[in-house]
Amino acid sequence: MSSIIQLLPDHVANQIAAGEVVQRPASVVKELLENAVDAKATDIKLIIKDAGKALVQVIDNGLGMSVTDARLCFERHATSKIRHAEDLFSLHTKGFRGEALASIAAIAHVEMKTKQDQEELGVHIIIEGSKFVSQEVAVLPKGTSFAVKNLFFNIPARRNFLKSDTVEYRHVVDEFQRVALAHPKIHFTFYHNGSEMFNLPPATLRQRIVTIFSGKTNEKLIPVQEETEIVAIQGFVSKPEFAKKNRGEQFFFVNDRFIKSGYLHHAVMAAYDGILKDGAQPSYFLNLSVPPNTIDINIHPTKTEIKFDDEQALYAILRASIKHGLGQFNVAPVLDFDRDSNLDTPYHYKDLQGATPTIQVDGNFNPFSDDKPNKHFSNYKKPESTANWESLYVGLKQDADDIAHITFENEEMTSSLFNDEEIEHSVHKTYQIHKKYIVSSIKSGMVIVDQQRAHQRVLYEQFLVNMTVHQASSQQLLFPLNLFFSSSEMELIQDLQVSLKNTGFVFEENNTDHIVISGIPVNVTESEVSLVLEQLLGDLQDGIPESSFSQSDTIAKSMAKSLAVKTGTHLTEKEQENLVNGLFACKDPNVSPFYKPTFITMRVEDLDKKFAL
The half-sphere exposure of 350 on its side-chain side, counting CA atoms within 13 A, is 4
Provide mean pLDDT across the span 34-42: 91
Structure confidence at residue 550 as a pLDDT band (50, 70, 90) = confident
Q: Please compute the mean of the pLDDT values over residues 308-336 and round it to a whole number.
A: 81
Average pLDDT across the chain, whole number: 80
603 phi and psi angles, rounded to 5 deg? -80, 160
Give the strand pairing for 284-289 and 250-254.
parallel
Q: Do 88 and 180 touch, CB atoms closer than 8 A?
A: no
pLDDT of 393 higher than 80:
no
Stronger pLDDT, 547 or 139, i.e. the higher one: 139
Report how far apart the first and last C-alpha atoms of the chain are (Å, whole number).
71
**CA distances, 84 to each of 99, 187, 248 (Å):** 17, 33, 38
Give the relative orientation of helices 451-469 and 548-563 as an angle to the nearest 10 degrees: 140
Provide the pLDDT confidence category of residue 182 given band limits of 50, 70 and 90.
very high
DSSP 232: E
Residue 418 has pLDDT above 60, yes or no: no
The pLDDT, as a whole number, for residue 253 is: 92
The full 3-state SS of 562-604, as one line of letters, equals HHCCCCCCCCCHHHHHHHHHHHHCCCCCCECCCCCECEEEEEH
pTM of the model: 0.70
Least confident range of 69-78, 203-212, 543-552: 543-552
Question: Among 331-340, 443-452, 461-470, 582-591, which is the least confidently predicted range?
Answer: 331-340
CA dist., res. 63 & res. 65, Å (int): 7
pLDDT band at 92 (very low <50, low <70, confident <90, very high): low
Q: Above 80 in pLDDT, residue 402?
A: no
pLDDT in tens, 205-264: 999 999 888 767 888 899 999 998 889 999 999 988 888 877 778 999 998 889 888 889
If you average pLDDT over residues 27-34, what whole number do you get? 91
Evaluate if residue 38 carries a pLDDT over 70.
Answer: yes
Q: Provide the H-helix boundaries in 484-541.
A: 487-503, 529-539
**Higher per-residue confidence, 191 vs 98:** 191
Kindly give the interhelix angle for 165-182 and 25-38, rounded to the nearest 10 degrees.
20
Handedness of CA 590, 591, 596, 599 (dihedral sign): negative
| Per-residue pLDDT band at 339 (split at 50, 70, 90) | low
Percentage of the chain exceeding pLDDT 70: 77
> What's residue 15's pLDDT?
65
User: Which domains, from first to last, does the chain contain?
Assistant: 10-200 (3.30.565.10), 205-328 (3.30.230.10), 439-600 (3.30.1370.100)
> Can you give the pLDDT at residue 503?
84
Question: According to the model, what pLDDT value does residue 476 have?
Answer: 86
